[in-house]
Structure 1
Amino acid sequence: MKLTRTTPRSRRPRLVALASALAAGLALTLTGAAAAQAAPAAGTDYVALGDSYSSGVGSGDYDSASGSCDRSPHAYPALWAAAHAPATFTSLACSGALTGDVTGKQLTPLTSATDLVSITVGGNDAGFSDVMTTCVLKSQATCLSGIATANAFVDNTLPGRLDTVYADIRAKAPNAHVVVVGYPRFYELNGSCVVGLSEAERSAINSAADHLNSVTAKRAADHGFTFADVTQAFTGHEICSSGTAWLHSVNLLDLGESYHPTAAGQSGGYLPVFTAAAS
């Protein structure tokens, strides 16, 4: 016969009470931890700046009040704000914005109370939109020449312009955590595309994006800002990839959306990278 050890009746109420107390304490601890994690976002004053990659061009449902800036609720800043409910959220990101547009038109909301700033900028200064149009419509030689010109600009002129933008942001928002967000590579090389640009052009375009990110990351670091690199997040989702592309290919009916993230690219690529960098 198997003997079973039982707890004396006199001790059972004490054990039950102790277990209840431990459970309540654990619940309070977990609740407190969750509140601690949620508190920074709940009290955050967040301002989004920059160009079309921050305004959400390519993701659709543009706010008519934003006019030609084409700000979308599917852009990563709006998605982050919807998920974290910051105290305030303002986006002045605008399609086509140059570094001078940021300093001249977008910095008004920044104050010493601003806690978080995000920005993508630099691609338009380097003329990548025109380069991509050239590569689609003209010869390989003309395309590669345009990319070389853009790379030279990134080396020689863009660093100074980024320094100006970043210094102005820090001056107006001295206490903010500033996240500088980069650009994706556009193409999966040797991928599924059988027409369009040559592999040499696609490779040169990818290298130019990497170069732009590298220079931008260095300038961001020198100003004490965080650089958020999205290239790995987009791996397997570039144009010509076997998976679902998170970037629009060339759209002759709406060239403005070409080479911009889709709504899935904003939510699946940009948002998680920014969320990690913003924490």
Structure 2
Amino acid sequence: MRRFRIQSWATAVLLAGACTLAGPATAPAAPNRAALDYVALGDSYSAGVGAGDYLTEGASCLRSGRAYPALWAAAHATSFAFAACNGAKTGDVLKKQLGALNGRTRLVSLTVGGSDAGWAKVMALCALPGTTGCLTAVGTARAYVDKTLPGDLDRLYSAIRGKAPGARVVVLGYPHFYQLHGSCSRGLDDTERAALNAAIDHLDGMIAKHATGHGFAFADPRTAFTGHEICSAGPWLRSVEVLDLTESYHPNASGQSLGYLPVFTRAA
């Protein structure tokens, strides 16, 4: 991946207005080995899928100039590598994104784990009529989080620390998708919505446990998004688009600038 700076115009979109669901986890080209103060790793939530204003470099990754890493870098970083990519699992980050790290890296951000747990399949099934398929898929995802994800996270976190021993690493979680008993008149029922929110709690808990176990900071966006979930009066997440789930259940521009950015800023 070529190192590049997010230009100051990104600050102009700061106030412009759900785990990766689709898209290839392709990696950018090998980086320039000059010092990188801040490196943004991870999946679609860090790439900014759903926020629009997608950058032309690494277009398949759907990196947005409105994503929290780009906004933070525009205001703070002297050097910035944007490696996060739509569709990335822990193995993709491990194999394709860590080339941007080195001994001079001072700050790393990361969201990952949702795609590993199979949220693409979960949300596709939950978008269909009936609750049985949705609840079964949620249960399967939770089982993956319990049995397989911990080892994947540990391998990735160890590799990050090995490549950037002096960096502060901030691992961010995922917000609840739904406001229960909210304004939605159609779509999933509240039993399914509650199960999805509970599964996100379970995923975030596992991520937090292993991140802090490696000496990383865990930044929790759930409180910031409270009152701004799908079915709220002012949602910061895109609702389901049955014909194209790519941007569904992802933060919109407000979710990135008003939700994720303050959470990351406090932890950074």
Structure of greater Rg: 1
Task: Give the structure 2 partner of residue 76 of structure 1.
Answer: 68
State the percentage of identical aligned residues.
Answer: 61
Matched, 1:237 2:228: yes
Q: Please, which runs of 5 or more residues in structure 2 have no aligned partner?
A: 1-34
Instruction: State how far apart, in whole Å, the 2-side matches of 1:140 and 1:153 are.
Output: 20
Judge which range, 191-200 or 267-276, deviates more: 191-200
Q: Tell me the CA shift for residue 139 of structure 1.
A: 2.4
- What do residues 167-204 of structure 1 show as CA deviations (whole Å, max 9, x unaligned)? 00000000000000100000000111111101100000
Q: Hey, which bits of structure 1, 4+ residues long, moved more than 4 A?
A: none
Aligned residues: 234
SS in 1 for 2:134: helix
**Structure with the bigger percentage of helix:** 1
Task: Give the structure 2 partner of residue 168 of structure 1.
Answer: 159
Q: Tell me the CA shift for residue 255 of structure 1.
A: 1.3
The AA in structure 1 aligned to 2:173 is: G
Instruction: State how far apart, in whole Å, the 2-side matches of 1:155 and 1:217 are.
Output: 13
- What do residues 44-67 of structure 1 show as CA deviations (whole Å, max 9, x unaligned)? 700000000000000001112222
Instruction: State how far apart, in whole Å, the 2-side matches of 1:257 and 1:109 are.
Output: 26
Matched, 1:55 2:47: yes
Matched, 1:65 2:53: no
Matched, 1:250 2:240: yes
Task: Give the structure 2 partner of residue 113 of structure 1.
Answer: 104
Instruction: State how far apart, in whole Å, the 2-side matches of 1:137 and 1:83 are.
Output: 42
The AA in structure 2 aligned to 1:75 is: A
Instruction: State how far apart, in whole Å, the 1-side matches of 2:243 and 2:230 are.
Output: 18
Write the mapping of 1:256-271 to structure 2, written as runs, cut at 5 A.
Answer: 256-271=246-261
The AA in structure 2 aligned to 1:60 is: G
Instruction: State how far apart, in whole Å, the 2-side matches of 1:87 and 1:172 are.
Output: 20
- What do residues 6-64 of structure 1 show as CA deviations (whole Å, max 9, x unaligned)? xxxxxxxxxxxxxxxxxxxxxxxxxxxxxxxxxxxxx9700000000000000001112
Q: Please, which runs of 5 or more residues in structure 1 have no aligned partner?
A: 1-42
The AA in structure 2 aligned to 1:78 is: A
Give 1:203's match in structure 2, choosing from 189, 194, 201.
194
Write the mapping of 1:2-13 to structure 2, written as runs, cut at 5 A.
Answer: none
- Cα pair 2:44 2:85 within 8 Å, conserved: yes
Q: Which has the higher contact order (CA 8 A, sep 6+)?
A: 2
- Cα pair 2:90 2:112 within 8 Å, conserved: yes
Compute the TM-score of the two structures, normalised by the length of structure 2. Answer: 0.86
- What do residues 97-145 of structure 1 show as CA deviations (whole Å, max 9, x unaligned)? 0100001000001011000000000000000121011100242001000
Give 1:272's match in structure 2, choosing from 256, 262, 266.
262
Write the mapping of 1:127-142 to structure 2, written as runs, cut at 5 A.
Answer: 127-142=118-133
Instruction: State how far apart, in whole Å, the 2-side matches of 1:169 and 1:147 are.
Output: 29
Matched, 1:88 2:79: yes
Task: Give the structure 2 partner of residue 213 of structure 1.
Answer: 204
- What do residues 234-257 of structure 1 show as CA deviations (whole Å, max 9, x unaligned)? 000000113x10000001343100
